A and B are shown apart, each in its own frame.
Chain A
Amino acid sequence: MAEASPRIGVRRTYKLYVGGAFPRSESGRSYPVTSPAGVHLANAALASRKDVRDAVVTARRAFPGWSGRTAYNRGQILYRIAEMMEGRRDQFAAEVAAAEGAGRGKAQALVSAAVDRWVYYAGWADKLGQVLGGANPVSGPYFNLSEPEPTGVVGVLAPTGSSLLGLVSVLAPVITSGNTAVLVASERAPLPAVTLAEALATSDLPAGVANILTGRVAELAPPLAGHADVNALDLAGAGALAAELEELAATTLKRVLRPGRDDWNAADPGLARIRPFLEIKTVWHPMGR
């Protein structure tokens, strides 16, 4: 009997995630991704300005539907994302280990924290209205109610150093309230972001709510920050570009969450990353017969 030849593995192609689909960059470009030790891991799509534009269009298109869902439904879907990640723990752990040079145990812990983060923000979806809104006792015969609403399309620069937990920690708070997102993954460690996209795609999250681009932050962030149809920016991963991007954002008066001393391991991140991407709407109505 002839000896069976060893099976040739099927490698994944790491693509963008835009509008619920996995296109390559329209530019046809890719870039090599290596581990911190310099080992080649894969090629990732090198998104272009046009990919940014396409992602903003799809995010805008998804906004009315996603923000129009009930908060309960959004919470359910975020929880479903946690379920999908849980089922692919080993894959995520392997990728985080490779991407961040973390040991097996550390990588497992980061994946656990990332899954739990989805659960955490899933629970916020239908609490925000009560925590951040409410009736105002105006001195007149009026019913007066303030409630938080999502601001719209949010451009997110994911943190560079925390490829999965950091990524989830910035994406989940943006979309739980009903915003849609165009996220630029960690330039150096983008592979867990693409795997997350695959989990998102199987989790009932409507197409276009979360769009994930991989590539050069210096190339993608300025068009995102300058895009007039983007309402807000999370500059967590902006690094040295932060001031320039904030200035670009000023052109259309975007809400900007500046990079700060973020602890991605905090057990209870609170509202700090939710609140900047909300608007408070106040509705008045007379009370009479």
Chain B
Amino acid sequence: MEIFEYAPAPESRSIVSIRPSYDLFIDGEFVEAKSDERIVTVNPADEEPLAEVAAAGDADVERAFAAARRAFERVWSPLPGAERGKYLFRIARVIQERARELAVLESLDNGKPIKETRDIDLPLVAAHFFYYAGWADKLSHAGLAGTRPLGVAAQVIPWNFPLLMLAWKVAPALATGNTVVLKPAETTPLTALAFAEICQEADLPPGVVNIVTGAGDTGRAVVSHPDADKVAFTGSTEVGRQIARTVAGTGKRLTLELGGKGANIVYDDAAIDQAVEGIVSGIFFNQGHVCCAGSRLLVQESIAQELLARLRARIERLRLGDPLDKNTDLGAINSAAQLARIRELAAAGEAEGATGWSPACPLPERGYWFPPTVFTGVTQAHRIAREEIFGPVLSVLTFRTPEEAVAKANNTPYGLSAGVWTEKGSLMLWTASRLRAGVVWSNTFNVFDPASPFGGYKESGYGREGGLHGLEAYLDV
């Protein structure tokens, strides 16, 4: 008798038409870059080229800022909030209508599973625009009466959630009356360019949103442009530091959403099966390419053995492979560079004496892949307990008392996220109140909502995105 096994269930990519080559989106139109440098973006699942995009140079960035400034002064900031809001509602609707196409495009360009782009990224992207659309004419009710938009916002976003990070940046900026120059990540520019088309489809006035593709040089040109009134960056702490230095003394407003080394604390009375789920989603969601990942598991020593046994059994059920397969849980690593970084840190974990474990998990021959990995025997001193790996690699540490759990959780220069698992309400609140982290997930992990502010303590950055608090970043509070 045949056992019931999943058959391949690939989402069709025919819904997406990718052009061989893309120009920059400036002043409401796709315009040829003055720079002749081009970047090829590849599908990380098979290393096949998807398209070529422009690497915007200084002159291109200059043009984008000029367009954004013009749009800010002549059109967007004078527009009543209610009208700005209507444009954002329109954009949200078009995103919903084109959700399937955008999900497939995102999976192709990023390598993340279609299940995630379809069920998490795209619904959140649309929700974010809906949420901030409604704020546009209600800022006086947000405790922000009398404040004004900052002007032109320079925004640089990462590759891990390309369209979602765009939404987190663009929606609040536009709702508050700013215009933007946005640079998507070098390895994932395609959904931002699709968003440019959506801006056209929504008849958004030219210059309100400008999208310049490129790599690090383009990013530097964007954040250091003298006509930027505001700089918003999501990415690594190292680059965040450089940007903070660049901005120093300029008077530009700055928000940074940077790295993390989130601790997921599991007490001995936790709902153990859900804790296992939380650990899995904490570190393997989006291949671990998540700044708020629960990359350090802190488990109470008395249940460590049982929990790890359950965790391993659960990880063995994860399905790694074709991002477009609807049953894929773990997709491709976004780039060769990121894969090299993950490999280097995993090797350091072994070298420093921790024990790595991965399920028997065949990796596709082409593309960038890394199996889900759990390191036990990790100590606070190990690099894999301190440095952000940004991949599907979990470091397991144990603790004996709540005090020790909190002390270990906070023993990092980062402070973005943390998890707490206990069935005891007062212990949960005690722990949550002592964790130095901007987001604390209790008895859940990696859930997001446009109404919920997100952002870090310490070297995880400053400012909040999402919710009422996210408005402050774009107003002269």
Interface residues of A (CB under 8 A from B): 131, 134, 136-140, 142, 144, 146, 151, 228, 231, 242-244, 246-247, 249-253, 255, 258, 272, 275, 279-286
**Chain B residues within an 8 Å CB radius of A280:** 438, 453, 455, 464, 469
Which residues from chain B contact A138 at a C-beta distance below 8 Å?
A: 447, 449, 451-452
- Cα-based distance from A92 to B209 in the complex (angstroms): 56
CA distance A117 to B58 in the complex (A): 49
* With known contacts A247-B248, A253-B256, A258-B251, A136–B443 Cβ distance under 8 A: no
Q: Which residues of B contact A250 (CB under 8 A)?
A: 241, 244-245, 247-248
- Which of A142, A231, A279 interacts with B447 by CB under 8 Å? A142
Contact A253 B452 (CB under 8 A): no
Say whether A282 contacts B439, CB under 8 Å. yes
Question: When the two chains form their complex, are residues B477 and A284 in contact, meaning their CB atoms are under 8 A apart?
Answer: no
Known interface pairs A146-B467, A255-B462; A136-B453 also in contact (CB < 8 Å): yes
Task: State A284–B440 Cα separation when bound (angstroms).
Answer: 6
Minimum CB–CB distance from A241 to chain B (whole Å) comes to: 10
- List, in ascending order, chain A residues with CB within 8 A of B477's CB: 272, 275
B244 touches A253 (CB 8 A): yes
Do the beta carbons of A146 and B453 come within 8 Å of each other? yes
Task: Return the CB mask of B204-247 against A: 1 if under 8 Å, else 0.
Answer: 00000000000000000000000000000000010011001101
Contact between chains at B452 and A282 (CB < 8 Å): yes
Question: CA–CA, A146 to B442, complex, Å?
Answer: 13
A282 CB contacts on chain B under 8 angstroms: 438-440, 452-454, 467
- Closest chain-A Cβ to B470's Cβ sits at a distance in Å of 10
- Asked whether A136 and B248 contact (CB < 8 A) given A250-B241, A253-B258, A286-B443, the answer is no
Interface centre among A142, A272, A283 (most CB of B within 10 A): A283
Given contact pairs A136-B449, A138-B452, A282-B440, enumerate 15 new A-B contacts (beta carbons under 8 Å): A142-B444, A144-B452, A146-B467, A242-B249, A244-B249, A247-B249, A253-B237, A253-B461, A255-B462, A279-B438, A281-B437, A282-B438, A282-B452, A283-B440, A286-B444
Q: How large is the interface on B (under 10, 10 to 19, 20 to 34, 35 or more residues)?
A: 35 or more
A-B contact count (CB 8 A): 106
Task: Tell me if B319 counts as interface (CB < 8 A to partner A).
Answer: no
In the bound complex, residues from chain A placing their C-beta under 8 Å from that of B439 are 281-284
Chain B residues lying within 8 Å of A144, measured Cβ to Cβ, are 449, 451-452
Shortest A116–chain B CB gap in Å is 24
Contact B452 A284 (CB under 8 A): yes
**Complex CA–CA separation, A243 to B457 (angstroms):** 23
B459 part of interface (Cβ distance < 8 Å): yes
Q: How far is the CB of B413 from chain A (nearest CB, A)?
A: 7
Shortest C-beta distance, A129 to chain B (Å), equals 12
Q: How far is the CA of A281 from the CA of B435 in the complex (A)?
A: 9
How far does the alpha carbon of A252 sit from the alpha carbon of B442 in the complex, in Å?
28
CA distance A134 to B468 in the complex (A): 10
Indicate if the CB atoms of A151 and B244 lie closer than 8 Å.
no
Asked whether, in the complex, the Cβ of A253 is within 8 Å of the Cβ of B241, the reply is yes
**Please, which residue of chain A has its CB at the minimum distance from the CB of B240?**
A253
